[in-house]
A and B are shown apart, each in its own frame.
Chain A
Amino acid sequence: MRPRGLEIITVALDSRGAEGAGEWIRAANPEHPSLIDVEHRVAALYHMVNVPTGVWIDEAGRIVRPPEVAFVDNRWIEYTKTDMTRYVAGLRDWVARGAASPFALGKGEIRRRLSLPTADHALAAANFRLGQYLHAQGHWEDAIPYFKRAQALRPESWCYKRQAWALSDAEKYYETNFKKEVEALAGEPYYAPLDLPQESA
């Protein structure tokens, strides 16, 4: 879609950096900027809780769709519970029609959908960052209490959970794993449901 004026920017939220994300990026060999964010800065700036999360940004640098689940196909429909082909069709519609596209949301609607950080969220982010710093310095075991505090302060963040589990033995140090946590949702959605415009008749 690049020739039509869409720039795709991917950001790997990966504390292990190139060691974690590198082989995936090399295999995909993308033409678009494929960035690595070891400190999950983009997740903090945009208040994201999971991956993949997409944000649509117009030519003036304004958000026209706030963070939401952003798969480009239905491989994970069990988790998304949404037909993601409609999301991709919406992206194409926005690229073609800009603000006239029903997928480009008005300011009021975006603000209604935006989740804004609270004091606990900011403290969670600081704990995650100190944990990440200690881990990067080789103090991986000492990082764990900070990761746990981030998870406790912001339990809805799968980024804080899954990233920390991936940096050590989740069973041993966190007494949990992804499968157990998803089961504990007991039918609650893993991703917040996408809210796309109704298909026109």
Chain B
Amino acid sequence: MSEATVIYDERLTVVQNASCDGEDLLLSPEDLTRVSGWELTPEGVCREGLCVPVPPGQERFNLSRLARLLDQPVVASSEHRVWFFGERPQGLASRLASLTAPDFTLPDLDGRLFSLSQFRGRKVFLVTWASW
């Protein structure tokens, strides 16, 4: 068991006693909730009203296995002990297909944060570029 860095829902958490097996990340119930918001309950592992049945009596919960069950992409670096849990393609696709422009918050050069949603009420021409 050792330290692991977990990025879940864009939030980075460092846990002290994770165990791993390849891309599988096993966490204590407390760390599971701290990292991902999922909670072990008698109904299974639950978050935001959604419950997934799991065998009872697990001391450590395999978050990577849950992600695979939910079609959520998981990528890990076992060397650097970092796990990245990405967004489900279904979530990305349905949000885009709704035609509501996905919101984001990003800094400018001076570190001031801007969100797309603060420009509601005006037309917006959003354009990406790069120095590469």
| Residues of chain A at the chain B interface (Cβ within 8 Å) | 5-14, 16, 18, 20-22, 24-26, 33-37, 41-48, 51-63, 70, 91, 94-95, 98, 107, 110-111, 114, 116-119, 121-123, 125-127, 129-130, 133-134, 137, 139, 142, 146, 149, 159, 162-163, 165-166
- Given known contacts A55-B101, A130-B77, is B92 in contact with A122 (CB within 8 Å)? yes
B95 vs chain A, min Cβ distance (A): 8
CA separation between A118 and B96, bound complex, in Å? 12
Is B88 on the interface with A (CB-CB < 8 A)? yes
Q: Residues of A contacting B1 with CB < 8 Å?
A: none
Query: Would you list which residues of chain B between 66 and 82 have a CB under 8 Å from chain A?
Result: 71-77, 79-80, 82
CA separation between A36 and B130, bound complex, in Å? 9
Q: SS class of chain B's interface: helix, strand, loop or mixed?
A: mixed
Let me know if A36 and B106 touch, CB within 8 A: yes
Interface residues on B, range: 35 or more
CA separation between A125 and B86, bound complex, in Å? 7
CA separation between A162 and B102, bound complex, in Å? 24
- Given known contacts A7-B122, A9-B116, is B132 in contact with A14 (CB within 8 Å)? yes
A45 vs chain B, min Cβ distance (A): 4
- Given known contacts A25-B109, A36-B108, A133-B84, is B130 in contact with A13 (CB within 8 Å)? yes
